[in-house]
Amino acid sequence: MAREIVSDMDGLRRTHYCGEVALSDVGSQVVLMGWVNRKRDLGELVFIDLRDRTGLVQVVTESKSTPASFEVAQNVKSEYVLAVRGTVKKRAPGMENPDLKTGAIEVQADEIRILNTAKTPPFYIWDDAGADETLRLKYRYLDLRRAPLQRNLEIYHRTSMAVRNYLSSRGFWEIQTPMMTRSTPEGARDYLVPSRIDKGKFYALAQSPQLFKQLFMVAGIDRYFQIVKCFRDEDLRYDRQPEFTQIDIEMSFAEEEDVWGEVEGLVKYVWKEVLGVDIEPPFPRLTYQEAMERFGSDKPDTRFGMEIKDVTPVFSGSSFGVFRSAIDQGGTVRAIAVPGMAGASRQEIERLTERAKLHGAKGLITVAYLGGEVKSQIRKYLTDEEIAGLAQATGASEGDLVLIVASDFDTAVTVLGRLRLELASKLGMIPKDRYNFLWITAFPLLKINEETGRWEAAHHPFTSPFKDDLDKVRPDATDEEKGKIRARMYDLVMNGVELASGSIRIHRRDLQEKVFALLGMSQEEARRRFGFLLDAFEYGAPPHGGIAFGMDRMVMLLAGAENLREVIAFPKTASASCLMTEAPAEVEPERLAELGIILAKDVKRS
RNA sequence: GGAGGCGUGGUGUAGCUGGCCUAACAUACGUGCCUGUCACGCACGAGAGCGUGGGUUCGAAUCCCAUCGCCUCCGCCA
């Protein structure tokens, strides 16, 4: 590239953003700075679409009237950085471009300076992505030039500002907490940071500021929030990144309704500020138990019906083996009615059955109500009363297909819950532009870890149990009792996505110790790991509770984005690497030596 | 950790039941022409040996094995 065609700004000052030159500017001199989106060279006449984050404006130059700028324009190529000084002209009738915000005008260039040249980009900087995501991630700074991504980053910014404005107006203080902290063995895997000064010891990158924010309450901060990065070393999903951002909130002297009220106000404010959409709190509340019963999920999508029904009573006298044994073993028979699917082919039924098995069912029974007939692989086992009862219980009518799973409760509702989502999506039953917020409450305090067979905190070990269940908070509680302890925990769910999760915390040392003991933690262990918290509780800890939003996830929903990578500036891939910086990367042996780290021989090195 | 999908000029795709493929189309790119374009148009040109490594075969982009990368799902995510 000939460097001599590049000039300096030399005092030239931008007067307008490209997308903001308007009809009202006609006749005035403007100075624009931006990137060449496209050049259209018609010989003695050149058009350049100049782009910045606000949009495009057409710059025009011709050999006869503006020879100086015309000469420069001929050397211009895509993605060159230009400064353009010129006059805003109204376009002649019939020459406007209605697709462009600035389509009614154009800028006649008196002077064009090339501030920098550019290689041909590896992919088009157009609105639709087109290129493979691998390539786009490698050249993320070019991908971020695209309007849709810039729009998402702007939405992220506006969301941040709305959150800060609202919470500040409600008396919350934004205070930072350490990123480098102590590893907490529960929950997600930690990212570890070796200590140079104290070799052999490690910090962990914070999975959340949980303990710090509780200590703020002990400190009398009363109301705290933070927009904060959190780190969890777990496998990624379209809506999960290893480093992500939370809106972390905690308040003193608060019970459930206090937290929910603040959150509902925040959500209403953010949706209005960012999307101009009115959300009407209070949000419906559903217990965990009810959510599982009706939707087979603790984050139900309530934008459509097709709820799960208990049809155990219908089949209580059934002779059909699958129903019989499920019921006799204390299990249940559950069903959903899929509208208009009675005509499903044998192959479609087969596919559904496969899905059901994938989700953990032993099989799937279907009953089709079609043309006054009843079609089912277990037709001969069904009595007329059962057929009528099934239709009655599920609300199935002519043309519907009823899916039945007989199993233990969890499997039955989970399987049907997943099929419900898959089918609703496939059948186009999910209305767009709906924001169905709801609270899920009264979660179980503990859940059993399938791998270790041990009981663990469902949320985290600082969650307060229900008062009525405190009698079961004993180290010698039976499994049945442990499973029944309810937690003062709540999730904010929208359209089937968990947006926020929180709880009323334990604020007394004795109860906290009991819960640690319930989790099988010895006193010594509890003291070693959480001694500072237990100590703090002895110095006047106020009752408190809070919540944390998945900020990126929220922006993803606000932006209508498909995945988190569309709203995070520099995201990681599914294997947690950054294709642009090529992180993670090996480090110099000296660095490791300094940290007292020796790599095991068998670690994979490329 | 497991399953599936994808990987072909700069980009997006076609080819993939083996030979008509020293790979086609579009677009981008280069050169030239063009005064009202806005996915400008027209003409000409250059550009890949098919992710990587093995194997089968007379012959592989096409079949097999392994491996790498990306995406999605399950497990995992207090």
What DSSP state is assigned to residue A459? S
**So what's the ipTM on this one?**
0.93
Strand B nucleotides in reach of protein CB atoms, 7 A cut-off = 1, 10-13, 27-30, 33-41, 69-78
Would A261 be classed as within a structural domain? yes
CATH number at residue A53: 2.40.50.140
* A461 nearest nt, CA–C1': B78
Strand nucleotide closest to residue A189 (CA to C1'): B77
- Residue A76 CA distance to nucleotide B23 C1' (Å): 34
Residue A1: predicted pLDDT: 41
For the CA of A10 and the C1' of B30, the distance in angstroms is: 32
Which residue ranges in chain A fall short of pLDDT 50? 1-3, 605-606
**Rounded CA gap, A245 and A359, in Å?**
30
Q: Do both A67 and A100 map to the same domain?
A: yes
B69 nearest neighbour residue (CA to C1'): A134
Strand partners, A62: A45
Q: SS3 string of A40-64? A: EECCCEEEEEEEECCEEEEEEEECC
Closest nucleotide to residue A132 (Cα to C1')?
Answer: B70
Nearest to A186 by CA among A470, A503, A452, A504: A452
A147-167 CB burial, b ≥16 within 10 A, e <16:
bebeebbebbebbbebbeebb
Cβ atoms of A298 and A366 closer than 8 Å: no
Residue A192 and residue A234 in one domain: yes
- Tell me the three state secondary structure of residue A323: helix
Q: Domain for residue A175, yes or no? A: yes
Q: How far is the CA of A239 from the C1' of B59 (A)?
A: 48
The structure tokens 């350490």 sit at A178
Burial class (CB in 10 A: 0-12, 13-18, 19+), A483: middle
State whether A103 and A60 are in the same domain: yes
Of A439, A404, A407, A431, nearest to A419 by C-alpha is A404
Same domain, A87 and A152: no
Contact, A58 vs A43, CB < 8 A?
no
Distance A28 CA to B58 C1' (A): 76
Regarding whether A276 and A231 lie in a shared domain, the answer is yes
Instruction: Name the nt closest to A456 by C-alpha to C1'.
Output: B78
Distances (CA, A) of A501 to A67, A201, A490, A494, A539: 64, 32, 6, 12, 27
pLDDT of residue A2: 44
Q: CA A349 → C1' B17, Å? A: 30
Separation of CA A573 and C1' B71 in angstroms? 9
Q: Which nucleotide across the nucleic acid strands is nearest to A571, CA versus C1'?
A: B70
Q: Which domain holds residue A99?
A: 18-116
- By C-alpha to C1' distance, B27 is nearest to A124
| A44 CA from B44 C1′ (Å) | 21
Residue in this structure with the two tokens 């932006």, named with its chain if needed: A559
Last residue of a domain, one of A65, A99, A116: A116
Distance in angstroms: CA A134, C1' B50: 19
Is there a single domain that holds both residue A335 and residue A403?
A: yes
CA of A42: nearest nucleotide by C1' is: B34
**Residue A555: inside a domain, yes or no?**
yes
- Do A269 and A371 lie in a common domain? no
Nucleotide nearest to A447 (CA to C1'): B78
Distance in angstroms: CA A127, C1' B71: 20
Within a domain: residue A406? yes
Q: Give residue A291's pLDDT.
A: 95
Q: What is the largest CA-CA distance in chain A?
A: 95
Tell me if A22 is assigned to some domain. Answer: yes
Say which residue the tokens 């020796």 belong to. Answer: A598
Would you say residue A504 lies in a domain?
A: no
Q: CA–C1' span, A46 to B41, in Å?
A: 14
* Nearest residue, CA→C1' of B75: A235
Same domain membership, residue A253 and residue A352? no
Whether A76 and A176 share a structural domain:
no
Instruction: Give the CATH number, domain containing residue A331.
Output: 3.30.1360.30
Which CATH number characterizes residue A598's domain? 3.30.930.10
Residue A511 lies in a domain: no
Name the residue closest to the C1' of B39 by its CA: A38
Residue A462 domain-assigned?
Answer: no
Residues A152 and A267 in one domain: yes
Looking at A75, A100, A116, the residue that finishes a domain is: A116
Last residue within a domain, chosen from A376, A406, A426: A426
Return the nearest residue to B42, CA–C1': A42
Q: Please check whether residues A340 and A414 belong to one and the same domain.
A: yes
Count the domains in chain A: 3
Nucleotide nearest to A237 (CA to C1'): B72
Quick one: A274 and A148 in the same domain?
Answer: yes
Distance A195 CA to B44 C1' (A): 65
Question: In this predicted model, what pLDDT tens digit does every residue of A58-86 receive, in sequence order?
Answer: 999 999 999 999 999 999 999 999 999 99
Question: Token pair for residue A596?
Answer: 């007292």
